[in-house]
A = this chain, B = another copy of it.
Amino acid sequence: MVEVDRGLPLEKIEEFSLEELLGMAIKAEIGAAKFYESLAENIDIEVLKEKIRFLAKEEKKHEAFLRKMYRETFPDKEIIFPKEHIGPELQPVARKLEEIEDVIDLYRWAMEAEKIANEFYLKLEDRVDDEKTKRILRSLANMESAHYFTLKADYELLLDWEMYSQMMHIGP
């Protein structure tokens, strides 16, 4: 069983400033990238490694987009990283995943985090007026949805491990 801090519910967004929310988003993207990198490292299923590395790369690009957005919205201001976290806070995977149940658990948490990230960016879009910034936030929301469904597609198959390992020619 994998334990993950559930974080604050999405509604709590209302209690933070735009600066804090952007800081939170940057922190979450850094965390997600580290999570996916460590997951790829510790998972023994070759077909999944590649996809998870791709997700890590994408989250790093999101971090860069958000940092640029922050610089343009709040020039000359240091980024504030609030200690709070909206939605599950994905932690780096610190050990080899021997049991398929642990992989399934982590996929479930990652899906939940991606789903909330999608909603988070859409809510953030409501908080800004600039059309370009809105567009980037909508695009980020769509990317997180893409991640959600990418994970869900494999999650669905992993639930029947016998079938999956046969399909992917894994194991003896």
- Which segment, of A76-84, A98-106, A153-161, faces chain B? A153-161
Residues of B within 8 A of A135 (CB): 156-157, 159-160, 163
Q: Does A146 lie within 8 Å of B154, measured CB to CB?
A: no
Whether A123 is near chain B, meaning CB under 8 Å from some CB there, is: no
Least CB distance from A53 to B in Å reads: 12
Task: Please name 18 pairs of A and B residues whose Cβ atoms are closer than 8 Å in the assembled complex, sorted by A.
Answer: A54-B54, A131-B160, A135-B157, A135-B159, A135-B160, A135-B163, A138-B156, A139-B153, A139-B154, A139-B156, A140-B153, A142-B150, A142-B152, A143-B149, A143-B153, A145-B149, A146-B148, A149-B149
**A64-90 interface code vs B (CB 8 A; 1 in, 0 out):** 010010000000000000000000000
The size class of the interface chain A forms with chain B is 20 to 34
Extra A-B contacts (10), CB below 8 Å, given A136-B157, A143-B149: A68-B167, A139-B153, A139-B157, A142-B153, A142-B156, A145-B145, A146-B146, A146-B148, A146-B153, A149-B149
Whether A132 is near chain B, meaning CB under 8 Å from some CB there, is: yes
Q: Does A143 lie within 8 Å of B150, measured CB to CB?
A: yes
Given A132-B163, A135-B159, A160-B135, verify A146-B149 contact (CB < 8 Å): yes
Q: Does A150 lie within 8 Å of B146, measured CB to CB?
A: yes
Task: Look across to chain B and name the residue whose beta carbon is closest to the beta carbon of A154.
Answer: B139
Residues of B within 8 A of A131 (CB): 160
Q: Does B143 lie within 8 Å of A65, measured CB to CB?
A: no
Least CB distance from A85 to B in Å reads: 23
